[in-house]
A = this chain, B = another copy of it.
Amino acid sequence: MTNRRVLLKNRPVGEPKPTDFEVVDSPVPTPKDGEILVRTVWLSLDPYMRGRMNDVKSYTAPVELGQPMVGGTVGEVVESRDAAFRPGDFVLSYGGWQAYHVAKSGGARVGPFGPLKLDPKAAPISTALGILGMPGMTAYVGLYDIGQPKPGETVVVSAAAGAVGSVVGQLAKIRGCRTVGIASSREKCEHVLKDLDFDACVSYRVPELGTVLRDACPNGIDVYFDNVGGDVLKAVLKNVNPFARIPLCGIISQYNATEMPPGPNLAPVLVNRVTIRGFIVSDHADRMPQFLADCSRWLREGKLKYREDIVEGLEKAPEAFIGLLRGRNLGKMLVKVGEDRTRR
């Protein structure tokens, strides 16, 4: 039995290349007292991982060269030296890009990831990496706590077909807002409109996004949940209403940049008394219980829907991650690393 792992081989300059990763087979680790050995079933791929590949100061440490890429995982306990877990339990943990890992209560966490036991009967275990996990909670906290939309307001979200954006729009609808998505392709816009019930969706690949957005938002923009920054943010700022709120969740447009591009002119922020607020979901762990209660219920009631974009096999993770940064995924990007015995 070997442990397939994907290591960071080179720090990418610009867009990551397949050769920046290395797939190796290593011995399966042995859990010590208080630890569990987990066989990974699902690996989450998320845009924030691009930042971990750089050797720069951020809110968490970078991945070291020669070490596995980090990432949230759902897996099955195969050996336990912790009385709280038994073999066959399914857990959410932060196992990284590898087939096996040891986890420990109180160990490394990012955001709402713990080594946390999952109930496969309550919801598909993969949702713990998506709509009921970090991406869903990012949407919940960013929209409701930072964006604070009121019924009847217009909420715009970029990367609208992605793991976070798709939840933002649905949460805005639940709040009674007009919901407008921004996405790359017609296929994504159709998904967002037909499956997720957004009121409108526009592609950012148009010459005059500001004008297109104005048509899609006849009453202006009250909340813009920003996943991408760049030109999309500039176009939004041309259409903001007084006292608009902009939760800044990500700047995907520049994650592969080799030099920091300039940002938007801030005159509309001043004139319209806009609030731009960066946030990181892990600061809001106290909201986890309310998020899980609300979103689990809405999921059962059919008010929240989700789509997963699944690639099979850990060795496909680098290619899928490169595609994610190019916006090629439709829904939550997952790598199926091993058999999911809960899906029959």
Contact = CB atoms under 8 A, between A and B. Distances in A.
A254 interface: yes
Contacts of A242: 59
Contacts of A250: 270
Nearest to A269: B278
A275 interface: yes
B278 A274 contact: yes
Given A269-B276, A275-B276, A262 B260 contact: no
Nearest to A249: B270
A276 B266 CA distance: 10
Nearest to A279: B273
Given A266-B263, A267-B251, A267-B254, A275 B273 contact: no
Contact of A277 (B251, B261, B265, B275): B275
Nearest to A51: B271
A271 B59 contact: yes
12 contacts: A58-B271, A254-B265, A263-B263, A266-B276, A269-B276, A269-B277, A270-B278, A273-B277, A273-B283, A274-B278, A275-B277, A275-B278
Interface of A: 58-59, 229, 233, 242, 248-251, 254, 260-267, 269-280, 283
